[in-house]
Amino acid sequence: MRLELRDVRFQYPTGVVALDGVNLTVGSGEALALVGENGAGKTTLVKLFNGLLRPTVGTVLVNGEDTRRQTVAQLARHVGFVFQNPDDQLFARSVRDEVAFGPRNLHLAEGEVRARVEQALDNVGLREAIGRHPYDLAVPERKLVALAAALAMHTPALVLDEPTIGQDAQGVERLGALVDRLHAEGRTLVSITHDLDFCLMHFDRVAVMAGGHILADGPAPDVLRRVGLLHQAQVEPPELVQLALGLGWDTMVRTPEAFAAQLAEVRR
Amino acid sequence: MITVSGLRYRYPETDRPALDGIDLSIEVGELVGVVGANGAGKSTLCYALTGYVPHFFGGTMEGEVQVSGHDVRRTPVSDLAADVGLVFHNPFNQISGARYTVLEEVAFGLENLGVEPEAMRERSLQALRATGLDDLAERSPFTLSGGEQQRLAIAAVMAMQPRVLVLDEPTSQLDPAGTRAAFEVLRGLARSRETTIVLTEHKLGWLAAFVDRLLVLHAGRLVADGPPRRVLAEAVDQPWGVGATQFTRAVQAARQRGLVAEGTILPVTLDQALEVLR
Amino acid sequence: MNGEAPRRPSGLQALHPLTKLALMLLALVAAAAMPTTLVVLAVFVGLLVPLAAWGRCLGAFLRSCLRVLWPFFVSLVLIQGFFTPGPTVLMHVGPFRYTLEGLQVALLFSARLLVGLGAATLLMMVTRPDALMRALVERGLPNQIAYIVVTALQIVPTFQARAHSILDAQRSRGLETEGRLIIRLRAFAPLVGPLILSSLMEIEERAIALEARAFNRAGRRTSLVSLRDTRGQALLRWVLLLAGLALVAARLMLWRAA
């Protein structure tokens, strides 16, 4: 599921230009992280992928089709979306019904729906909460329910808006494992994140945004070492990059294990 | 300034206690961080120090909590508010909605306390300067960004000049710039060492650089209490779910390969890591 | 009102909120009490319009009044004209007769409505709600009520943004919102549910924030902003009150005489 933005400009009715001259292609099966301060245009950009917003100028293509010619409900089958605020979507009386909502909108058989719900909840580690009322869960767990709800739709592409906010260490680790698994399955992933360590570890590609433009777009270790650029976007480099640069290294590492391996090399 | 003895608390209609025997003592001017997995009791501890537990949430509470000379169990929350301030993680929900400008929003608490208008204006302006919001004094709070709204919440509580300030994951909904600005404000406040600050966070790097002392909560119990680096190094081998910075993990991986001495205390910050590795 | 730098208060804006309230209430009473259309219109033209001009919002005021009034005006003219019995028939439309008396009733009612809407609109244009609430609290209105009114005015508009976010979120999960009635009905729970539930959460957190500002504290409260009042205005308010009572008395006597 390939996602493309061609010369996209987006202006809100208020006159604010949120995106200006943006070109971006996310190939099928790629995992892309979007970083940059609030207001840079990240959320506007990802909303173009499922048709919630249509470009003022330019073209957005999902799997080769112009999004202008498809409805949001149609695009929802191809591009799943997990919003930052889970309370914008939770309305069912049980976690099961909440997660089943999406698949039911796809008119799947009940047996299939049930299987998907259970699998999605397993993926986010909330299987035991299946019968509980979503609002009985704490906010970070509600976020995971929202994520499960999107997973259950089995979309080839998935957009995540700040998935790690409010999660504890175990939650972040579980999300990381989930992202890795989805990537291995061949899903196209786009994630907005402020957690640059998470970004470096789980996403092959990073795009840095500021002021409605993409400042840089490339392999994670390459982009995330450009400290000046990151500062322009009001973000700090990941801790492992800071460490590598502090040691005078030229090559970046993405995980602590890779760090130790490279340290061994350097010391030799 | 803060004394907690034998604190046990259970929210209404739950079976498991949220806090299961906490004993704690915090001196004037200390900067204390609280970490732990979600559900460990961090927020509940914040509420217990500010009186929402038990007064706002109900439930069953045992033990004693003394904060700034008040017995929390016997003092109404509104009376505690003057001495013990609370800031929590949602910036939008901390706007009172009762005032039309940022300046008036900051003064709102002082009006409720019956502070004289002259002093009120001075304290409010001072709080706005300390939080970098003085240019926004005449704006509506609803037009501010999330990070600005959170600083406004801090300013509104700071203006009341509490002796203790409790912050529950204040930066969790902020971007890196907002997080940095919030910690700068706290650093400014901490400089005088007059205000005791208790702060829960998941962002270990920021926390470790700011606080003198770190508490770890696990399943409602206090399982560690000491200098940040030592506590976080210990947490790495424990099932507390505290996590670690990448600096810690990198050196831990190096230590496993024998590249770093066995007895080395794991670093938390960049400077500590570079020191260990050189 | 939101986010704009305050214009230097003009004459009307600078008056004490209760004075402005008294002026508007007098206009309302006059409109209700006066028996003929022309006199009621005179209240509009003679009282509200000059006040609006003094408040430097005449254009906006007139536009707002007309915009809100015209649908009522049209319905009144039609309904009263056709369904009020009377001797003077102006025209026939099929079996229906349009009477002059009906038209007169419609015009009087419209004029009263114009003054009523005009007074409320003008009051909102020249008085900040929180200033009005402060003035009432000074006179004994419970703090809690004042809070609810002002907060409702500020928070309710945010529901619109929230409803939009909810719509986005649910559409992204495949919710259909256009089409047959049954489809729209099914969309009701997923759209309204989150709005209500998240509002409840918000209310609870805001209550916590209010406690942190000592909102429920018993004891003396002070005010950052003092509302300027003058003896002249206090006197004027008494005069307006008496004038209002006099109008009501006169009307009752007229009624009795008729």
Give A83→chain B minimum CA distance, Å.
13
Between C55 and A262, name the one with better pLDDT: A262
Give B261→chain A minimum CA distance, Å.
14
B260 has a pLDDT exceeding 70: yes
Place of tokens 């906490």: B22
Q: Encoding tokens for residue A135?
A: 């609002």
CA-closest candidate to residue A150, choices A181, A119, A185, A184? A119
Please list, in sequence order, all residues whose beta carbon lies within 8 angstroms of the beta carbon of residue A238, skipping any fewer than 6 positions away.
Answer: A196, A197, A199, A200, A224, B246
Optimal mutation site among C162, C204, C213, C224, interface B, most CBs of chain B within 10 A: C213
Q: Does B247 touch chain A (CB under 8 A)?
A: yes
C5 has a pLDDT exceeding 70: no
Q: Are B240 and B218 in contact (CB under 8 A)?
A: yes
pLDDT (average), residues A162-172: 93
How far is Cα C195 from Cα C203, in angstroms, rounded to an integer? 12
| Helix (H) / strand (E) containing A149 | helix A139-151
Count CB-CB contacts under 10 A for residue A268: 5
Q: Distance of CA C243 to CAs A29, A260, C29, C108, C188, Å?
A: 79, 89, 10, 22, 51
- CA-based nearest residue in chain C for residue A73: C174
Query: What's phi and psi for A60, nearest 5 deg?
Result: -120, 125
Q: Is C229 exposed, middle or buried (0-12, 13-18, 19+ CB in 10 A)?
A: middle
Contact (CB<8Å) C217/B99: no
Query: What's phi and psi for B109, nearest 5 deg?
Result: -60, -40
pLDDT (average), residues B218-237: 96
Q: Does C141 touch chain B (CB under 8 A)?
A: no
Structure confidence by residue, pLDDT tens digits, C89-126: 788 877 788 888 888 888 999 999 999 999 999 998 88
How far is Cα C196 from Cα C162, in angstroms, rounded to an integer? 11
- Mean pLDDT, chain A, rounded, equals 94
Beta bridge partners of B256: none
Optimal mutation site among C151, C224, C226, interface B, most CBs of chain B within 10 A: C224
Beta bridge partners of A66: A61
How far is Cα B52 from Cα B68, in angstroms, rounded to an integer? 16
Of C162, C168, C201, Cβ closest to residue A52: C168
From chain A, the residues in CB contact with C194 under 8 A are: 87-91
What is the pLDDT at residue B243?
A: 94
CA-closest candidate to residue C114, choices C38, C22, C192, C223? C38
Q: Are C41 and C111 in contact (CB under 8 A)?
A: yes
Q: Encoding tokens for residue B2?
A: 């803060």
In B30-49, the residues whose Cβ lies within 8 Å of chain A are 36-39
Q: Is A35 helix (H, G, I), strand (E, B) or coil?
A: strand
- Give C48's DSSP letter: I
Length of chain A: 268
From chain C, the residues in CB contact with B112 under 8 A are: 213-215, 217, 221
B21 has a pLDDT exceeding 50: yes
CA-closest candidate to residue B47, choices B80, B91, B21? B80
C2 has a pLDDT exceeding 50: no
Beta bridge partners of A216: A208
Interface of A with C (CB under 8 A): 47, 50, 52, 72-73, 76-77, 80-81, 83, 85, 87-92, 101-102, 105-106, 135, 149-150, 153
pLDDT band at C182 (very low <50, low <70, confident <90, very high): confident
The whole-model pTM stands at 0.89
Q: Distance of CA A103 to CAs A86, A152, C244, Å?
A: 18, 6, 65
Q: What is the ipTM of this complex?
A: 0.91
- Mean pLDDT, chain B, rounded, equals 94
Structure confidence by residue, pLDDT tens digits, B125-171: 999 999 999 999 999 999 999 999 999 999 999 999 999 999 999 99
Q: Are B231 and B214 in contact (CB under 8 A)?
A: yes
How far is Cα B36 from Cα B4, in angstroms, rounded to an integer? 18
- Beta strand C96-99 pairing with C89-93: antiparallel
- Mean pLDDT, chain C, rounded, equals 86
C258 has a pLDDT exceeding 70: no
Based on DSSP, count helices (H) and strands (E) in chain A, helices before strands.
11, 10
What is the pLDDT at residue C251?
A: 86
The DSSP result for C61-118, as a single string, is: HHHHHHHHHHHHHHHHHHHHHHHS--S-EEEEETTEEEEHHHHHHHHHHHHHHHHHHH
C6 has a pLDDT exceeding 80: no
Contact (CB<8Å) A263/B254: yes
Based on DSSP, count helices (H) and strands (E) in chain B, helices before strands.
11, 10
From chain B, the residues in CB contact with A171 under 8 A are: 38
What is the pLDDT at residue C9?
A: 65
Q: What is the 3-state secondary structure (H, E, C) of B156-185?
A: HHHCCCCCEEEEECCCCCCCHHHHHHHHHH
Give B228→chain A minimum CA distance, Å.
17
Q: Is B216 helix (H, G, I), strand (E, B) or coil?
A: strand
A211 has a pLDDT exceeding 80: yes
C253 has a pLDDT exceeding 90: no
CA-closest candidate to residue A139, choices B93, B39, B204, C208? B39
- CA-based nearest residue in chain A for residue B40: A168
Q: Are B206 and B183 in contact (CB under 8 A)?
A: yes
Q: Encoding tokens for residue B40?
A: 């460990």
Structure confidence by residue, pLDDT tens digits, A37-66: 888 899 999 999 999 999 999 999 999 999
Of A50, A76, A87, Cβ closest to residue C194: A87
Least confident interval from A45-59, A152-166, C180-194: C180-194
Contact (CB<8Å) A88/C193: no
pLDDT band at A90 (very low <50, low <70, confident <90, very high): very high
Q: Distance of CA C87 to CAs C36, C76, C84, C90, C101, Å?
A: 19, 19, 10, 10, 8
How far is Cα B40 from Cα B168, in angstroms, rounded to an integer? 13
